[in-house]
Structure 1
Amino acid sequence: MRTIVITGASSGIGKATAEVFLDAGWKVGLIARRADRLEAMANWHDNAVALPADVTDADAMQAAVATFVKQAGRLDVLFNNAGMFGPAGPIDEIPLDGFEQVLNVNIRGMFIAAQLAFGQMRRQDPQGGRIINNGSLSAHNPRPGSVCYTTSKHAITGLTRSLSLDGRPFDIACGQIDIGNARSELVEELNARALEANPGADLQPMMEVEEAARSVLHMAEMPPEANVQFMTVMATKMPYIGRG
């Protein structure tokens, strides 16, 4: 049975991805802070393992990954998904602690998860695995007022490229999925902010979150000799190409 750990698994893209992988017959480790949601998913499916942890807590993450590997035997894939948007606006209106919180979750948290997964994949027999980082359209073309989020997601593109190179001697592949306007809690929050600023605002087109989840499954199921390095999946009519 193939195995995957998903961070940010209690809601949105993470939860939808966990459900898609469970339906496909994978053993799925669920990492997030909200233990009650993870337990509910684990009670629903025998192949789901609830691993409550904060991705920024290195000790808790180490324990979570160790628990999963002890049960599953190995780690084939990490979907490095947990993240937050943070404060929005021009840079001179952003509180420094808000910026630091975004970096802590979106960069440090993803670094910790990747470090643990890479180490496990390097040590296990047979060696190897795959790390899929959740980037964003903002990793390439930012939306206005997203300086915190955009800065963090550009860093994740660098993480993806570095892991791709460093993983080659150990048969560890790394790819990045850049998702635009999936119907998740994060996007709903952005829509709420837009309506608060302008009740007559036109909300951006969205796609169902399951479309993003199926794209992650496609990346995970590639044979070891192939890798989706970067994938963009988004609502068809959203402003992305040429937005500014």
Structure 2
Amino acid sequence: MTNSSPLKVALVTGAGSGIGRAVAQVMMEDGYSVVLAGRRPEPLNELVEIATAAGQNALAVPTDVRDPASVDALFATIEEVYGRLDVAFNNAGINAPAIPIDELPVEQWLNLINTNVTGVYLCARGAFGLMRKQSPQGGRIINNGSISAHTPRPFTAPYTASKHAVLGLTKSLALDGREYNIACSQIDIGNALTELSVRMTKGVRQANGQIAVEPMVDVKHVADAVRYIAGLPLSANVLNMTVMATNMPFVGRG
């Protein structure tokens, strides 16, 4: 990004690995100054070093999206350093063991909901507030949903419930953001190959109880989809996009 280019600032949560890391890298390639948020500082700092060596701009801000004070500190840092935010990619999320609901400890349910729902809410809240008051006003919030925002897998009630909640939040923000030139999108991802999903290449429980190996898709296609949404003018929006392995069991699942 040259000095004559307008400042473009993006936030990526869960930026230390997987989808978040891939998205952060393409956003930096596109000239954004990228704020890298995540609980583990080491991979964030490693990504900053890679960006710096490539002449790109990145800032690591270790953040626990479950903690309101930590998220407030994140957005205070963004405002202090850059004065604005153009794109927020709410990516941080976790899963729970695929076991019957009565066997799942309540503590794991609460941790998942606090991360996948409250964490997205807190970061969307911070982004919305900054985008609303900055000049020029507006920006784009992109939430990482899931195929599970529409259809569950067996024994995934906590995760499925959390992603249905994200879908409702996305639609509400898309509506409430109109007055302030804030667009909100959701990208629903199916079987992107990351460190966390590699286990699926060995077999996944299906609706009929069988275990089957499912096709996966390169995470770069997800990053390119986020890049496309982020590059749209604020007068245009992709409300929902599904990026999935073509032959995975979603259409016709069950």
- 2:85 matched to 1:75? yes
Query: Matched residues in 1 for 2:203 and 2:15: separation?
Result: 24
Higher relative contact order (CA 8 A, sep 6+): 1
> Residue 127 of structure 1 is aligned with which of 118, 124, 137?
137
Superposed counterparts of 1:1-244, under 5 Å: 1-46=7-52, 47-191=57-201, 194=204, 201-244=211-254
Query: Matched residues in 1 for 2:252 and 2:103: separation?
Result: 25
Q: Say whether the 8 Å CA contact 2:22–2:219 is kept in structure 1.
A: yes
Identify the range of structure 1 (122-131 vs 67-76) with the bigger mean alpha-carbon deviation: 67-76
SS in 1 for 2:126: helix
SS in 2 for 1:151: helix
Q: Say whether the 8 Å CA contact 1:85–1:186 is kept in structure 2.
A: no
* Amino acid in the other structure paired with 1:17: V
What stretches of structure 1 move > 6 A for 4+ residues in a row?
A: none
SS in 1 for 2:220: helix
Normalization by structure 2: what TM-score?
0.90
SS in 1 for 2:169: helix
Query: Matched residues in 1 for 2:94 and 2:238: separation?
Result: 24
Q: Deviations over 1:121-163 (max 9, x none)?
A: 0010111001000000000011111111000000000000110
Query: Matched residues in 2 for 1:223 and 1:155: separation?
Result: 27
Query: Matched residues in 2 for 1:123 and 1:224: separation?
Result: 16
Q: Deviations over 1:200-232 (max 9, x none)?
A: 954210011111011001011111100000000
SS in 2 for 1:69: helix
* Percent identical: 49
Shift of the alpha carbon at 1:188?
Answer: 2.0
Q: Say whether the 8 Å CA contact 1:87–1:99 is kept in structure 2.
A: no
- State how many pairs are aligned: 240
Unaligned runs of 5+ in 2: 1-6
Shift of the alpha carbon at 1:192?
Answer: 6.1
Indicate how the Cα distance of structure 1 residues 4 and 174 shifts in structure 2: closer, same or farther if over 3 A, else same: same
Query: Matched residues in 2 for 1:193 and 1:203: separation?
Result: 4
SS in 1 for 2:136: coil
RMSD across aligned C-alpha pairs, in angstroms?
A: 1.6
Q: Say whether the 8 Å CA contact 1:86–1:101 is kept in structure 2.
A: no
SS in 2 for 1:175: strand
Query: Matched residues in 1 for 2:36 and 2:200: separation?
Result: 25
Identify the range of structure 1 (68-77 vs 27-36) with the bigger mean alpha-carbon deviation: 68-77
